[in-house]
Structure 1
Amino acid sequence: MRRNKSIILLSAGHACVDVYQGAVASLVPFFVAERAYSYAAASGIVLAASLLSSVAQPLFGVLTDRRPVPWLLPVSTLLGGTGIALSGLWDSYALTLGLMALSGVGVAAYHPESARVARLAAQGRHTAMGWFSLGGTLGFAAAPLLVAAVVATGGLRLTPLLVIPAVVGSALCLPALRALHGPKGGGCDAPSAVAHDDPRSFVRLSLAVVCRSITFIGLSTFVAFHVMERTGGGTAAGSAALFVLYAGGAVGSVVGGVLAERRDRVTVVRRSYLLTVVAVAGVVLVPGPVVYVFVALASAGLYVPFSLQVTLGQDYLPTRVGTAGGITLGLTVSVGGLATPVIGAVADASSLQTALAPLAVLPALGWLLVRGLREPSGVVAGPDGEVTARRHSEGLAGRGETRGPEG
């Protein structure tokens, strides 16, 4: 019960943090409308939030691997919220970029440590990690609604109200950390691992994560404008598309954990990437309201492998779970922002449809990268130090068995 409570609290805290990742793209249409930014300038806002986050994420992962830093969870949550909350108060483009970068650093600091702590609380269960990832997905899904409710009513001057989730999220971290530090909570020390790292598989997985990230961030930044063009609707039509993109991920996060308990994770990840290829092509090419169906399918395809990539990365690098979690969980989102200026520049020079078309190719590349991966095998120490045996998924699937990390 203590572990389940911790997962629930960590999931809720994850939601509060990832509101601010979703808020960046959600604020872009309002910056364009109120400050007359071009597509390229608007994508620079996403870049600012992503650039420092992408650089800082592995550094925080290394710090987490060297020593537990649970205090980072509440502090980084507040930092992420503060940058977003202050971003609408000044017209200075440079200051806005700086505040977005501040928020990105907060998000970067949160994810490696939270992935390590969630792994402890999950005790190797895919479904538990799926619930933790679901929290972040729900935060993303809530971001456009929250931003619209606050900013659409009074303009960018009301962005300070967006700090509320950060305050709530930082408060939720504290009882979760106390539960894990309790007499029977197992502590927050990193799990020991007796298996060897598999850096080659981890690099291939990470490159697939980058493909997924660029696709997702590209869609989340520009899908609102694209759907407005394809349907002839206004900002409400665009916000609805962004909500569908984020909310569909809520289903995908949970389904991914369930499927991984029945099948091996690598197979689920591969098939998700294939679904994403078809779905993104539909988003780009299909006109009219049917585009919402493809947005939902793209969301599911992008999110089913979300938590599975985190646990796979940690199992490929069992001696550096903080670094692995920081890259697969944090960079899954932040690194995609580095490509948004290119998409924005192409959209300004030609059309938004032309700029988004290459996003259908990236999931295919991701599929090629994960195609040769195998389920991690060997002997690994679980979150509580218990040594568990691993076997390749092919042998298990052949007998109809399901084996998670605890098996």
Structure 2
Amino acid sequence: MQNHAVRSRQWRQLLALTFAHLIADVYVGLIAPVLIPMRDRYDVSLTALIVITSLLAFSANVFQVPIGYLRATWTRPWLICGGVLLAGVSVFIPCLPVGPGSVIGMGALAMLAGLGVAAVHPEGLRAVHGLDAISSSLSTAVFMVAGFMGFSGGALLSATLTERFGLDSLMMLYLLAPLAIIPLLLSGVRLPVESAKPQSQELPSAERERTPIVPFVTLFVMASVLAICSQIQSTLLPSYLHEEAGYTLSFSGLSVTLFGVGGMVGAVVWGALAPRLGHLRVLLGTTLAGAPLTMLYLWLAPQTQSAAAVLAFTGFIVYTGFPLCIALARYSNSSLRVSQRMGLISGGTWGIAAVMLWIIGPIVERVGMRPLLHLIWFGYLAVAAMTLWQMRRTPAGK
């Protein structure tokens, strides 16, 4: 009975942490779907707006690294609460007055909002990993997928509101920030103080036998590639569907959201199955399947709206890769503390992905968005190859 009560309390705390993460990432996902209306309103190049979007993503992730290093002993979730409130300022990026300083103001707000988002991730993951009554792969999947669900849901919100009421209507979405804090405070969640003991030694023997010990550097590289795939898709796909394929702004945002819904369900399912099937086996199978599914979607997308169903199924299959890398990073071979590893793998990887956007931004103006979207399936194949190589080095291919 006592174990049941503990598990129920920890599930409430996990859901509160997950909701805060979801709302924080809603604010990151608002901008990419409205790049075309912003281009028309402010009369700036699409390349400049892609840089603004990548600045938000870059700061939201790179700042996670120092936060992961600085905080290892605080137990109350105040930084998570403050982070959500600060993340909300991103709603003002597309609502600034038109003028010569608009782009500079957008960049400053993007950096500020990104700092807020960055505070939520390593602290939230540290809290999630303290919920020892819930499987690590499952709790990590729930927490991380809610973030992407927020990101993709933000795409639908911003596209729909902008299409119906204009860019200025996005300011009302700031009200979501204080709403996210309430369940977090009511849940009584506390962040664990980290010990110097290696995490792999703290596992129960049965779980230790099922969990592969993978070098942190290997996981970081794989997670970086997966983050680049997601960043390219979430930034370019809505504009591609609206500008080049000719769909409405709201449908473009809906397509990204459907990928997030599929990813949310899939990551929870695969996260629960991973300890039984093998973490690396699941990672290999989902990335191998994700490549042809992505190619199929990109072929169908300009021809029919029904391709959105393929995109949702692709999310169900492939999105679990990133949460699995994070779950394995908890027990990886590394001298870094858990919060440091979480800051690097959840923040540093997406920071690298944001830098990739700076590189491909000018290329978009020359070749269009469709050719660059094909980098996604190539990235999935690269991760599958790295996973297969690691399986050959891991006992029993776990």
TM range (shorter): 0.7 to 0.9
Contact 1:57 1:108 in 2 (8 A): yes
Q: Secondary structure, in 3 states, of the residue corresponding to 2:374? A: helix
Q: Secondary structure, in 3 states, of the residue corresponding to 1:361? A: helix
Q: Which residue of 2 aligns with 1:288?
A: 303
Range that drifts further, 67-76 or 192-201: 192-201
Amino acid at match of 1:157: D
CA distance in 1 between partners of 2:52 and 2:281 (Å): 36
Distance change in 2, residues 1:212/1:301 (3 Å): farther
* Residue 226 (structure 1) shift: 2.4
The normalised TM-score by structure 2 is 0.84
Aligned counterparts, 1:174-253, within 5 A: 174-176=185-187, 178-180=188-190, 188-194=192-198, 201-228=215-242, 231-253=245-267
Contact 2:149 2:257 in 1 (8 A): no
Contact 1:48 1:98 in 2 (8 A): no
Distance change in 2, residues 1:94/1:162 (3 Å): same
Range that drifts further, 283-292 or 247-256: 283-292
1:154 aligns with 2:165: yes
The normalised TM-score by structure 1 is 0.82
Q: Which residue of 2 aligns with 1:97?
A: 107
CA distance in 2 between partners of 1:64 and 1:86 (Å): 29
CA distance in 1 between partners of 2:84 and 2:388 (Å): 36
2:84 to 57, 77, 90: 77
Q: Which residue of 2 aligns with 1:39?
A: 46
What do residues 343-367 of structure 1 show as CA deviations (whole Å, max 9, x unaligned)?
Answer: 3322211222222222322222222
Q: Gaps (5+ residues) in structure 1?
A: 181-186, 377-391, 398-407
* Residue 341 (structure 1) shift: 3.0
CA distance in 2 between partners of 1:302 and 1:327 (Å): 22
* Residue 324 (structure 1) shift: 1.7
CA distance in 2 between partners of 1:375 and 1:139 (Å): 36
Distance change in 2, residues 1:40/1:298 (3 Å): farther
2:327 to 311, 314, 319: 311
Q: Gaps (5+ residues) in structure 2?
A: 1-7, 202-211
CA distance in 1 between partners of 2:217 and 2:143 (Å): 24
Distance change in 2, residues 1:236/1:2 (3 Å): closer
CA distance in 2 between partners of 1:77 and 1:225 (Å): 27
1:107 aligns with 2:111: no
Q: Tell me how many residue pairs correspond in the alignment.
A: 374
Range that drifts further, 187-196 or 24-33: 187-196
What CA RMSD, in Å, does the superposition of the two structures yield over aligned residues?
2.9
Aligned counterparts, 1:349-364, within 5 A: 349-364=366-381
What do residues 113-148 of structure 1 show as CA deviations (whole Å, max 9, x unaligned)?
Answer: 100001112545022332222322331232123223
Aligned counterparts, 1:128-147, within 5 A: 128-147=139-158
Q: Which residue of 2 aligns with 1:340?
A: 357
* Residue 219 (structure 1) shift: 0.8
Q: Which residue of 2 aligns with 1:121?
A: 131
Q: Secondary structure, in 3 states, of the residue corresponding to 1:260? A: helix
Contact 1:343 1:356 in 2 (8 A): no
* Residue 170 (structure 1) shift: 2.3
CA distance in 1 between partners of 2:87 and 2:392 (Å): 34
Contact 2:87 2:116 in 1 (8 A): yes
Contact 1:193 1:319 in 2 (8 A): no
Amino acid at match of 1:315: Y
Amino acid at match of 2:273: L
CA distance in 2 between partners of 1:196 and 1:5 (Å): 26
Amino acid at match of 2:373: L
Distance change in 2, residues 1:338/1:371 (3 Å): same
Amino acid at match of 2:157: L
What do residues 153-200 of structure 1 show as CA deviations (whole Å, max 9, x unaligned)?
Answer: 332223321211211122232223x244xxxxxx63225534679997
CA distance in 1 between partners of 2:327 and 2:27 (Å): 23
CA distance in 2 between partners of 1:332 and 1:224 (Å): 22
Q: Secondary structure, in 3 states, of the residue corresponding to 1:188? A: coil
Amino acid at match of 2:95: G
2:15 to 8, 20, 44: 8
How much identity, in percent, do the aligned residues show?
22
Q: Secondary structure, in 3 states, of the residue corresponding to 1:241? A: helix
CA distance in 2 between partners of 1:86 and 1:228 (Å): 21
Amino acid at match of 1:288: Q
Q: Secondary structure, in 3 states, of the residue corresponding to 1:190? A: coil
Contact 1:20 1:84 in 2 (8 A): yes
CA distance in 2 between partners of 1:26 and 1:366 (Å): 27
Q: Which residue of 1 aligns with 2:58?
A: 51
* Residue 25 (structure 1) shift: 2.0
Amino acid at match of 1:270: L
* Residue 93 (structure 1) shift: 0.8
* Residue 70 (structure 1) shift: 2.8
Distance change in 2, residues 1:50/1:145 (3 Å): closer
* Residue 112 (structure 1) shift: 0.5
What do residues 245-267 of structure 1 show as CA deviations (whole Å, max 9, x unaligned)?
Answer: 22222222212212213212122
Distance change in 2, residues 1:356/1:342 (3 Å): farther
Amino acid at match of 1:298: T
Distance change in 2, residues 1:332/1:248 (3 Å): farther
CA distance in 2 between partners of 1:393 and 1:84 (Å): 49
Q: Which residue of 2 aligns with 1:64?
A: 71
